[in-house]
Structures are given as structure tokens and as C-alpha cells.
């Protein structure tokens, strides 16, 4: 794992953040033309190593063919976040980081480290998909191909409300102590997991008993299952939640709140084909909004956001 450090970076909020860093790992070699790079940001609650299931010889992201840059988003995984930032940005004092902050820092990284002027593609899932869409809107000349999995161009009102239940589960935990707790605390984090269990899967997931296993033979056992992996830091979760809750690809000086203009910039080119408009129930694109040369796809499943995105990578690549 490597890290790109920016000593003179100012956040979208206007707050200077000297020494801010993003962690990354590369796979494969950048070719002489510097046109085989694929950027793959991480998503909520996971580091960039999580994307490695799809990287390898013979896999969709083949390092023999592509130069893949897996990067941890801010407030998440391995990049700057509350638990690894020194004062004055430690703990609950960590500032809001936005989609724009992530994209501008990533753009600076790829330019300074590798001289990359355009990607082969940008891929993202969930919050990573939001960052991918922000890339496509701000720098369409750098993103000829974009694959946004289970993500949205802006966080919908229903999603915003769900995310508020996460923050309240942590903030109302007496052990949180305004973010000045010592060590890891399980109470609020355990409630957060229960909230997730009720939201991230479809109702049919429970109706069909897909949550029942040998180790969790009842719904009660499933909800009370032991925590897997290390316990998350509450301040880190809140920092990620704030980025997600405030995600909006038009909330920046270029688009100044014009959502249609931000969507219209994605994959837009002088030789564009007819646009494909999404149905009203597709989260990434709103009704009457179009992406040039875009193909919205739905993968039938019963696992909701926990569905493994592998089926989407069966799409033929050029």
C-alpha cells in the first residue's frame, strides 16, 4: 500500500488540510501511451483492498492489460480519516470531505505520480459510484467509460434519512462522549448494524430465509450474530456517513446546483449517439435526465446492496 500526500490542499469547505493523504495500490503496468489506466475508488466502510476480488490475470480487470489504481476514499479505509489524523482534525473534529474533494485529490495524484491525462475507465460501487459519477461530470474528457454500480448521482431523500439513523445510533450512545471516547465502543455500532440489516437487503431476502444458516438458524440468531472483523471506529463511520449524506455531483462551483447540467456532462462528446434515458426507479439518473451513450442495467437479486456485483462484469468490453 502507498499513499499520496498533499501538503497544500484546501477542502471544498475552504478549510486548509495540510498533509491530507489518500492511500492506494496499483496493479499492472502503465503503458507508454498512458492510456490503459483504470481508477477504482473504494466505498463506505471498506478499504481499497476490497476491490481486489475482480483484479487478476483472466479476471475482468486484468493487470496484464490494464493499469488499475485502487484508492481508498477520504474518511475511509486507509486515507485521511478521524482515527489517523492529527489535531486539529482528529476524532469528532474531522472536517466534512466531499465528492469534489475526493475527485480533485485523486486527479492531482494521477497527474503528479503518473502523468495520466485520461483513464481507460473509472469504476465505482455505492459511494465509489458517486465518486465515479462526479469524475464523469467534472472531467468528461478524462473518463471515456464509466461504470457506476449500485450508486447515485446525488443522495436521495430516503437514503439521506436512512443515513441519519446511522449517525443518531452512534451520537446518542452514552459511550460516544462527543467523540472523545477511549477505545472502541460496541453499543452504537451494534445498533447501526441492526439498522443496516433492515435496510440493505430486499424483503424477499428474509421471506426466502436467505439469512438463515447453520450458525444463524433463526432470525434472532442472525441479528445477534457475532461481529466479524475489527470493530469500526465511531468517528470514522460518522465522517464517511457525512460524505455520503451530502453527496451531490452538482454541488460545486462548476455546476452551481444545476443537476441536469451535471448529468449532461457525463460521457458527453461531439460524436455522441442518441441518449438513453433511465426509468423513474433507477437511482443514478432521475426522470427526464439522460446520460449520453449510457445503458442502465438492473441485475435481479434478493440481496439488495449486499448483492455481489460480479454479474455486471460479464458485459462485453471493447
In a 3-state reduction of DSSP, which class is residue 41? strand
Burial (CB count <10 Å: 0-12, 13-18, 19+), residue 179: middle
Q: Give residue 52's pLDDT.
A: 86
pLDDT in tens, 106-159: 999 999 999 999 999 999 998 999 999 999 999 999 999 998 888 889 999 999
Instruction: For residue 301, give every residue at least 6 positions away whose Cβ sits within 8 Å of its Cβ, in sequence order, or none.
Output: 202, 307
Could you say which residues of the chain have pLDDT below 70? 77, 184-186, 267-318
Q: Give residue 316's pLDDT.
A: 34
Q: Give residue 43's pLDDT.
A: 87
Calculate ∠ Cα 51-96-3, nearest 5°. 45
Q: Phi and psi for 14 in degrees, rounded to 5? A: 95, 0
C-alpha cell at 94: 474531522
Q: Give residue 77's pLDDT.
A: 62
DSSP string over 230-296: SPPPHHHHHHHHHHHHT-BTT-STTTTT-HHHHHHHTT--TT---EEEPPTT-SSS-TT-EEET---
Q: Which of 145, 127, 130 is nearest to 37 (CA)?
A: 145
C-alpha cell at 113: 505520480
Domains and CATH numbers, the chain: 2-155+247-314 (3.40.50.1820), 159-240 (no CATH)
Amino acid at each position: 500500500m502507498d499513499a499520496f500526500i498533499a501538503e497544500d490542499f484546501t477542502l471544498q469547505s475552504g478549510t486548509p488540510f495540510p498533509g491530507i493523504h489518500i492511500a492506494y495500490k496499483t496493479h499492472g503496468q502503465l503503458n507508454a501511451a498512458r492510456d490503459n489506466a483504470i481508477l477504482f475508488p473504494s466505498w463506505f466502510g471498506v478499504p481499497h483492498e476490497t476491490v481486489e476480488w475482480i483484479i487478476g490475470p483472466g479476471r475482468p480487470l486484468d493487470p496484464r492489460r490494464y493499469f488499475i489504481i485502487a484508492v481508498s476514499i477520504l474518511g475511509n479505509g486507509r486515507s485521511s480519516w478521524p482515527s489517523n489524523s492529527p489535531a486539529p482534525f482528529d476524532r469528532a473534529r474531522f472536517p466534512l470531505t466531499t465528492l469534489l474533494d475526493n475527485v480533485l485529490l485523486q486527479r492531482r495524484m494521477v497527474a503528479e505520480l503518473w502523468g495520466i491525462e485520461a483513464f481507460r475507465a473509472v469504476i465505482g460501487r455505492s459511494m465509489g459510484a458517486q465518486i465515479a459519477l462526479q469524475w464523469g461530470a467534472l472531467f468528461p474528457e478524462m473518463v471515456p467509460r464509466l461504470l457506476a454500480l449500485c450508486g447515485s448521482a446525488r443522495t436521495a431523500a430516503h437514503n439521506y434519512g436512512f443515513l441519519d439513523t446511522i449517525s443518531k445510533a452512534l451520537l446518542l450512545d452514552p459511550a460516544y462522549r462527543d467523540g472523545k471516547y477511549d477505545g472502541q465502543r460496541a453499543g452504537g455500532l451494534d445498533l447501526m448494524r441492526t439498522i443496516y440489516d433492515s435496510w440493505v437487503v430486499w424483503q424477499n431476502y428474509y421471506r426466502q430465509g436467505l439469512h438463515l444458516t447453520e450458525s444463524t438458524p433463526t432470525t434472532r440468531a442472525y441479528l445477534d450474530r457475532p461481529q466479524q472483523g475489527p470493530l469500526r471506529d465511531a468517528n470514522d463511520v460518522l465522517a464517511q456517513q457525512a460524505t455520503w449524506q451530502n453527496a451531490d455531483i452538482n454541488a460545486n462551483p462548476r455546476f452551481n446546483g444545476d443537476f441536469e447540467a451535471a448529468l449532461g456532462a457525463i460521457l458527453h462528446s461531439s460524436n455522441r449517439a442518441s441518449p438513453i434515458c433511465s426509468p423513474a426507479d433507477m437511482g443514478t439518473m432521475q426522470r427526464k435526465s439522460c446520460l449520453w451513450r449510457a445503458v442502465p442495467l438492473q441485475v435481479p437479486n434478493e440481496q439488495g446492496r449486499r448483492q455481489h456485483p460480479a454479474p455486471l462484469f460479464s458485459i462485453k468490453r471493447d
